[in-house]
Structure 1
Amino acid sequence: MLRLLLLAGTLLAMLTSFARAETPSLLSPDQAFRAQLVVTADGSYAVHFNVEPGYYLYRDRFAFTSEPATPLQPVFPKGELKDDPSFGRVEVFKHNVTVTLQGKPPAGTAIKARFQGCADVGVCYPPQTVLLRPGENRDGGVDALFGASSDSSGGGTSGGSAGWGDAGYFSGSKITTIALFFIAGVGLALTACMYPLLPILSSIVLGPGSSGRGRALWLSAVYVQGLALTYTLVGVAAALTGTLLTVWLQQPWVIGAFALFFVAMATAMFGGYQLQLPGSWQSRLSHLASRLPGGHTGPVFVMGALSALIVGPCVAPPLAAALAYLGQRGDVVLGGGALYALALGIGTPLLIVGAAGSAVLPRLSGKTMQRMKMVFGVVMLGMAIWIARPLWQSWLPGEHAIAFEPVRSVAELQDKVAAARGKPVIVDFYADWCISCIEFERETLSDPRVQTALDGFVRLRADVTQNTAADAALLKHFGLYGPPALLFYNAEGQLLRQRVIGFQNADAFLATLNTVQGTP
């Protein structure tokens, strides 16, 4: 039992490590928001944005033009409302979003996309502009299947951690893509997702008319083919519907449903209810089995098809990535073949179990199975928390604050630091479009304790609202991606290691100031 608990802890540690790897403390804007131009089957354009967990895009900060400059009218999916004390209720996209562009530009037309977003930690990026060309990254393989990192070779952005449905991770032929889907399926089969299928498979292999290892293997193969055919149809549907399926998969309610499914599955693992096919289904399948030639073959195939629906929500996160990618490719053959390979990968361990027949499945029953159920339950709860993580939100209040002296360039900042004459200096990077900057000013800098602590500082402010070349140079000089950020110089004019990135409340900022004032 101790070993099983250690196993559960290890799996959860891997899960949280993966989540941390997916969302570093702060990404560059081209890593946090990756754009790709998608050409649909009817020749119209759409732009898909991969938004990393912990980041979001503003709906009203998008603009699209074709080259030469011709404005294009975007059609957005429904976003999320974010309450902001300065800007009111603003609509944001905290997950991947596909923006459809009305009209059909001439073939080969490049699209210029302008957008702006922020990180949940409080840092807002300056407006970004990328030039997107059709046909680039169309030969990639299974991109971002599990949120893996990728360097895009086109589409105007590069680098960063890819999320569900981003294009361009693996490059290769259709055979390579299909092989990667098969490997991914084997990986999914080694998770708790396969557990609901074991009781079904045991009833097939150990049931009447299935005596003999050869017969058990045959029935297992039929079962897996039913599973695979269902996935094939889903893959074809993804290729035919294109970005419409991508938009549907990224809706918050879909992510919430997946998380609730994992909670329900964990409850079943802990013994809250019995996980099995409904009795009415079992009766109907038994009735069909007695009437069909060949005994169990027909109902077993149907069981396999139904099992795809049972296991589908469990594999939803990587499946969402796969379907979004296939929707962007628009290749029906690739879509069907890739999902067929994924299902075969999921079914491979089931075939092994079927080949072993009655020699294996009894060992998975009794106390061993109960212990495994507990392990799977813990892991599923962890997965529910991980999946729902992008839906978490924070609300921060705001107030007014004290004045700062403006600086507009690196040279001007250096001159004013040199002129500080033995006093420490604080440099505040600010922008009007930065919600967290307004929050920091009204919530933190307005606190009387903070204002008293800042009396001894020369206060400088770099306002990067206009995002000019000088603004970009200031940010780059200090290795910053956007506001808010506060830097500190000591009385000797030396830049200190301590800095504030994102929002801090008054108590936390006072602790930072105390540390800064105690640093020589």
Structure 2
Amino acid sequence: MFKRLLQPWLLSLLCLAALLTAPGAGAQLLPRSGQGTPSAVVSTPYVRAELVALAPQGVGPGQPLWLGLQITHQPEWHTYWKNPGDSGLPIVLEWALPAGLDAGDIAWPVPKRFPIGSLMNYGYEGTVLLPVPVTVASGFSPGPLARELPIRLRASWLVCRKECIPEEGEFALSLPVQGSTALHAAAFEAAWAAAPKAHSADGLEARVDNGSTLALTVPGLPAAWRGQTLELFAETAGVIETAATPTQGWKDGVWTATLPLSAQRSAAPEPLPVVLALQGQGLRAELPVQGGWPPMAAAATISPALEEALRANAAQAAMAQTAASSASLWVALAGALLGGLILNLMPCVFPVLAIKLVGFAQHAHAPRARRLGGLAYTAGVVVSFLALGALLLALRAAGEAVGWGFQLQSPAVVAALAVLFTVIGLNLAGVFEFGHVLPSSVASLQARHPVADSFLTGVLAVAVASPCTAPFMGASLGLAATLPAVQALAVFGALGLGLALPYLLASWVPAVANALPRPGAWMDVLRRAMAFPMFATVVWLVWVLGQQSGIDGAGALLALLVAVAMLVWALTLAGRTRWLIGSLALLALLGVLAGGLGAQIVRPAEATAPTPAVAAEGTLPAATWTPWTPGRPEALLAAGQPVFIDFTAAWCVTCQYNKKTTLADERVMATFREANVALLRADWTRRDPAITAALAALGRNGVPVYVFQRPGQAPVVLSEVLGVDEVRAAVTAR
């Protein structure tokens, strides 16, 4: 009877094919230079950059026109000024403008100082706009039919925290020729206010003393500045020691300062351009160098002994890095093995374990078949996890924005799994036997290849269970994405071994088999009872697809399942009735797939509720869930409001459990309200490259992930199995 149970592996193979092909067909690329159609906004895990314009009176000769790149940084990240300081690279803008438009230099706002150990860098954090004036030629004419001008920009920047990431973006903007373009007028006004004003007072002077010290004299500074300690930024890199504290003072309203020249000075500007700043307000002065510059330092040579010492240090650092990497790998392997073991307790795996339970009972007293089945099932699980891990790594290396559990982000895969579990459930319930509905040559495959059936059971287990690994594997999977390919695949293999280990051990331990009664009528009762976990899984899959494709998509899937069930039942009939009802059922099935219902299954769900508007001060109502969008957390933090982000998905069982328990708890909601916390929900049910990038920035590849962040502080990542006390402690901690 049960020997024919696993014949639906023909459907399983089709399902696996869909699983392996769906991500490549539907995934989108992260914003990268040269890929896709340029837009006005480029978002990365570290910054959001936007091309903006200001044309109060349209585009024409003599009319003011400004372009700019506005960069919003993630907390603790920064980019660099025109002189980045001791390290870093300046932001570079390359314009492609219509004939008759000429872009000038960036009106750089006053930078901030970023000390890093004994070094000092200059740059920007938070939100900064780099405005660029554009000159319109006197003979400019866009043409009688032109209503918009194409503006193109290629920008590159280095964004740093403790580590540095070089990034670039291609931007496009259609600028109206007529009318006012003033959406970002306030941002431009703030940028102009932050740009240093020209200071041209008489008596400016720079003088080199003793060949190693630069003495500055600057009269005519604002009266409000007198007696204050000023910041100095040299516009030319490599002139002064940027990390040195200048000796400065005031005498009769004249500011004087002494600074050490760089020991490896690489520039000798004449005059010397500097920016003096006080509390974000700046003046730019060009100081004549009295007596000229001394000769610049010759390039230093490295002695053989020093070169050998540097090589030894580099080798030591490489050994230390290898040791740290090895330790991290062993931790990840242990975590993966434990996560796989715990995965057997997750609802995702129950349907497949039901199949294995019935199969184990069938072969409990046949030691050879039982052991071969255990080995084959383990091989199927491990090989499938390795295949999914390799596919994930390959797609990410190719630029695809995918994360762990990506197969259930495809409505087609969800629908295929629902069909498969419906057919298996009908078979377990005794509605049909595969030997009665399939040709004898196909129905006999199971008898000849029972090992293959066990192997394919492992494949199916991975297909439906892998999205449930995130609660126990978030950190390990995040680490795996950064490891070399062989080590990363070892982590995925350990995860598969953990999942298969209980059944593998049970199949090789005689005491487990001896504890079961002899085959009898109880096995048929067990088999029919196991149909209900299958149907419960179908209910869950229909709900998941409803979240992806809307109520119409869920209804279309139910119609498809009814047609499949009718076809299966018709094939159990005899004679002409079988062919008559079977033909009608087949036509109904084809009608669902070929008609509008099939398209409804895979189409995106329409938005059912508008996104709550951000208030004038840039904040959101406390303890009210709002959809996450790129840049929204940064905007709320900049406005001074704490943020809690729930990275979730409909197919994530742990996500739904946490949502209905901890995140719905009145004590938690009261804590959110008291702390004025904005609640953002990032729904990853369908593939979303922006959410994938945000997860990667947190070192995660799957959901659930919960993040709490205060303005000016680093984000706190909470545990995946969320607790009430944990959330309240994170929000109330100072």
> Shorter-chain TM-score category?
0.3 to 0.5
Q: Which has the higher contact order (CA 8 A, sep 6+)?
A: 1
Instruction: Identify, as 1 or 2, the structure richer in helix.
Output: 1
TM-score (norm 2): 0.29
Rg (Cα) greater in structure: 2
